[in-house]
Amino acid sequence: MEATHALASGTSSLLVWLIALPALGATILLLAGRRSDKWGHLLATALSGASFVVGLVELFKMLSRDGETRGVSQHLFTWINAGSFNVEAGLLLDQLSICFVLLITGVGTLIHVYSIAYMEHDHDRRRFFSYLNLFIAAMLLLVLGDSFLNLYVGWEGVGLASYLLIGFWNQKPAYATAAKKAFVVNRIGDMGLSFAIMIAFTAFGTVSFQGVANHAGPEHKQIMTWMGLALLLAAAGKSAQFPLQSWLGDAMAGPTPVSALIHAATMVTAGVYLITRSNFVFDSAPTAQLMVVIVGVVTLLFGALIGTAKDDIKKALAASTMSQIGYMVLAAGLGPAGYAFAIMHLLTHGFFKASMFLGAGSVMHGMNDEVDMRKFGRLRLAMPITYITFGLGYLAIIGVPPFSGFFSKDKIIEAAFNAGGPRGWIIGFAALLGAAITAFYMTRVMVLTFFGQKRWADEAHPHESPKLMTAPIIILSIGSIAAGALFAFGSSLQHWLEPVVARGFVEGEPALQPIVVSIMALVAVALGVALAYIKYVRVPVEAVAPTNVSIWTRFARRDLLQDAFNEAVFMRPGQYLTRALSFFDRKVVDGAVNGTGALFGGLSVRVRRVQTGYVRTYALLILVGAALILAAMLAARI
């Protein structure tokens, strides 16, 4: 076990620049303030691009080495050195992290470019770009950290950037509340990560990936199970998985590029990265793995159901993100058979979901920031480029061959069926059902936005967005066409990741032939599309959401009562508890302290009356006192 877990064998001194460049950008822009308003966005974009170039250089260097020796590391400094507790700040770039590095810096740079135009009329554009740079730096630290504690720093950094960007327009109280909600829910998940780190340190005395991996194996099954569950909680918080999914919908309050970069392509997938990176933990803990699968399946159906009822285009896409990450988590829960497919779906999803979000932003840009799809309709004529790119993303996400979603999602469904026994059939059919619902709600989004009748507001004058916005969308949609085939061809991504996540793993006999699974998935997709066609193309869509709908639609519109549940189960009892505690504090604790003070205060008001100022009174008191003492002494004598 030990020898096979050599995560990195070489070193590279370039790694730190990946993080340092965007971090430098964020620092300069924040410190220079308004002076950098004119050129801040250009600097931020350039530094993000430079980071991407460094990533490419690292990729080519990595390609020139082979197999087991591809991972490189860079030791930065000794962070904590206290007795037996020793944490080195180090970076690790292996086949898994390079995928993320290129996704983060690549998609990130495109979204920087897009934002230059999208945020042009916002007088805080420079601040927006400094936060974007901060996010890129933190996310890179997250994927490059070589220990759980280094990862944790990046993990918190992206949480901070996410909070700042969701609440970027915090002059609107609802947006500020959404930011706070995301932050609070994320803290619950972060507790899971800190528990995992504490468990690792107590049990193994180390928090580095390598150190914990050395202890992996059936002999530490119980510890690994607890650690796995704690990591799952962390992943659920960051990746908006059940039961911590409620923040993602509200996070759409942030500017659309933020939704595309952070809440679709990169940050929300950090949970999947965490599970994949901790593969040695989950591989030793079947119970934790089963929980991961359950969370993934529940979330993929949960998100898909919410997606069917949302009229807000960004919230519909957010529900879809939740559901797609459910697929990734499900795949990651399947162990070595699924890690590569989780990452593959993560990468293809990064392309097509980012392109769709940017498309949604482009639509909003042309429609005076309208987000209600019932007020869109027939936009394909007004915005041809947005229509085509969004359409390509649509074909990719519902899984039509040969677009990228087909390859990645099919692989996950296949792996789910192959999980074996009744479990395999259950999660396999759940994943198929999810695919059908995905096809339904994405068709709905597509039809409502680009087809049907005009339902625009009178003052809307939809127009195509400027080239700075369409160019990134076009590049991303090329990715959503080609990425899947590229990764799936000859199982290239699977072999690429094998040294990190699936050493010595041998595929068993499949439960179903791949072609059968593909046909089943396509039938499910066709059913979903057909249902959406019947409901939204045959019947004209109303501009105002109908109110006489079934109870299920109402449930889905209210996010399956997730907020009501959280409010009733956690928020209200918590509120009552704090009220009771504050009442106790005010009445009992403060009462005792203030009561003692008041008692002696009142007493002294009365006692000080003895000080009359008349010398003769004092003399008399002394005399009486002396007489009494004398009398007492005499009495004691007799």
Residues in touch with other proteins (CB under 8 A) = 608-616, 619-620, 623
CA distance 53 to 49: 6
**Six-digit token pair at 488?**
């799936």
Residue with Cβ nearer other proteins (506 or 610): 610
Name the 3-class secondary structure at 145.
strand
Number of C-beta neighbours around residue 571 at 10 A: 13
- The residue among 77 and 614 lying less far from other proteins, judged by its C-beta, is 614
HSE, CB side, 13 Å, CA atoms: give it for residue 474: 9
Name residue 10's beta-bridge partners.
72
CB of residue 632 to other proteins, shortest distance in Å = 19
Residue with smaller CB distance to other proteins, 544 or 621: 621
Min CB(624)–other proteins separation in Å = 10
Least gap, CB of 617 to other proteins (angstroms) = 9
- Minimum Å gap between C-beta 599 and other proteins is 19
Q: Which is nearer to other proteins, 69 or 617 (CB)?
A: 617
381, 388 contact by CB (below 8 A): no
CB of 611 to other proteins, least distance (A): 5
| Nearest residue (CB) to other proteins, 550 versus 611 | 611
Structure tokens at 430: 């759940």
Number of C-beta neighbours around residue 429 at 10 A: 15
Q: Which residues of 316-329 are buried (b: 16+ CB within 10 A; e: fewer)?
A: bbbbbbbbbbbbbb
Alpha helix stretches (DSSP H) within 503-587: 514-533, 551-557, 562-566, 572-584
| Cα separation, 379 vs 363, whole angstroms | 8
Q: Which residues of 542-556 are buried (b: 16+ CB within 10 A; e: fewer)?
A: eeeeeeeeeeeeeeb
Q: Which is nearer to other proteins, 546 or 613 (CB)?
A: 613
Q: How far is the CB of 177 from other proteins (least distance, A)?
A: 57
Least distance in angstroms from the C-beta of 184 to other proteins: 56
Which pair of tokens denotes residue 367? Answer: 């429609």
In the complex, what is the shortest distance from the CB of residue 577 to other proteins, in angstroms, rounded to a whole number? 48
Q: Minimum distance from CB of 626 to other proteins (Å)?
A: 9
Burial of 243 (0-12, 13-18, 19+ CB in 10 A): middle
Between 538 and 609, CB nearer to other proteins: 609
CB closer to other proteins out of 578 and 612: 612
Smaller CB separation from other proteins, 457 or 621: 621
